[in-house]
Amino acid sequence: MKRCIIGIDEVGRGSLAGPVIAVASQIIDDSFTVQDSKKYPNEQSRVHAFHIVQKCVKYSVGHVTVQEIDHYNIHRASLIAMQRAVYSFPFDTKCDYEILVDGNTPIQIHKPFKVRAIVKGDQKEKCISSSSVIAKVIRDNIMNNLCSVFPQYGFSKHKGYGTKYHKQAILSHGITCYHRRTFNPIKNSLLLCCNA
């Protein structure tokens, strides 16, 4: 049976708003180079890499909502997003799969595959780097769309992360249903509102 490798990565873990997106990808054409998404200096270069990668891999996407993040906690929610990416992957019955997960926690799946966690895997394994790029571009698009609905928060600039601009917008305008209420900066702003 042919050995096949799937790489998994997620993005959005440290954000104050928006979902966590995970991607599972298998390289089907090795004739491309890719770095992890953090190595691309701007959104345009990530999109360019995404179009290259998209032609060379099979992939699937998993995500968790803000409500799920608040319910489970960010660590558990990130693992759930990765599990969902695996369960929606178009597996080939002729392959013996090994799943490589970025980070130090292997996900639990109900499939007879070997699962291995690799610290800084997005810098070491091409299939994980591919997943990193795809997940980042998908999540960036989500946050750009949210920016058109909530322009006062500037989501297209910071993608929901805790920049000075974003924190000031939260203090000025309150929070949206896309903000993570269990994260400290959001909890603190809610306490300020309650005590005002």
Report the binding-site residues for a divalent metal cation: 9-10, 102
Asked if residue 17 lies in contact with residue 174, where contact means CB atoms within 8 angstroms, the answer is no
Kind and range of the H or E run holding 126:
helix 126-149
- Between β-strands 20-27 and 2-11, what pairing exists: parallel, antiparallel or unpaired? antiparallel
Rounded to whole angstroms, the Cα distance separating 49 from 75 reads 28
Q: Which residues contact 181 (CB under 8 A, 6 or more apart)?
A: 70, 175, 187, 190
Q: Which residue has the tokens 């799969």?
A: 97
Q: Residues annotated in the binding site, as ranges?
A: 9-10, 102
Rounded to whole angstroms, the Cα distance separating 34 from 52 reads 9
Asked if residue 27 lies in contact with residue 126, where contact means CB atoms within 8 angstroms, the answer is yes
Kind and range of the H or E run holding 146:
helix 126-149
